[in-house]
Amino acid sequence: MTGISRSGRSRRSTGLWWVAVVDLLLVAAFVLIGRSSHAEALDPTGVATTLWPFVVGLAVGWATVLGVGWSMRGPRAGLVVWVATVVVGVLLRVASGQGVEPSFVVVTAIVLGVFLVGWRLIGLLAARRRGAGRPV
């Protein structure tokens, strides 16, 4: 059961914001690394153009995880968020006329997998090492 804090919000809902921030920062890092490695400008418009499809994918992943009632911190949530981010992000890039080469899709899947699933696995391992024993 989810506890209620003094402010009236559940611990589950108040803890979601930091998961979203971590995911957003990692996807933004992916975009910034990719743009800079291809010598593309890091201007706000260019970054936003590259970023928005993946942010929509993140939102689809988050909604899916929340819809089935899973913890956003768990590795299985990371898998869902990762797949949604890659699939929706790539499809929206295609639909919006942005370039999508097969190598881009492979790199996108690998990097976002490491980022979006990886931090959750590290958190799970750290919690187990501390003996927290919280279910994910």
How many angstroms separate the CA atoms of 39 and 27, rounded? Answer: 18
Give residue-wise pLDDT tens across range 106-128: 999 999 999 999 999 998 888 88
For residue 9, is it within any domain?
no
For residue 135, is it within any domain?
no
Binned at pLDDT 50, 70 and 90, residue 99 comes out as confident
Give residue-wise pLDDT tens across range 63-90: 999 999 999 999 999 999 999 999 999 9
For residue 8, is it within any domain?
no
Mean pLDDT across 102-109: 95
pLDDT for the residue 127: 84
For residue 5, is it within any domain?
no
Picking from 84, 29, 97, the residue whose alpha carbon sits closest to that of residue 58 is 84
For residue 72, is it within any domain?
yes
For the chain, how many structural domains are there in total? 1
pLDDT for the residue 5: 41
For residue 28, is it within any domain?
yes
For residue 60, is it within any domain?
yes
Q: Cα(first)–Cα(last) distance of the chain, in Å?
A: 13
How many angstroms separate the CA atoms of 42 and 53, rounded? Answer: 17
Give residue-wise pLDDT tens across range 43-58: 898 899 999 999 999 9
Mean pLDDT across 82-99: 96
Q: What is the amino acid identity at position 51?
A: L
User: Can you give the residue range of the structural domain that contains 120?
Assistant: 16-130
Task: List, as own/partner pairs, every contact residues 122-130 make where C-beta atoms lie below 8 angstroms and the sequence separation is at least 24, other chains included.
Answer: 123/73, 124/73, 124/74, 124/75
Count of other CB atoms within 10 angstroms of residue 97:
7
For residue 70, is it within any domain?
yes
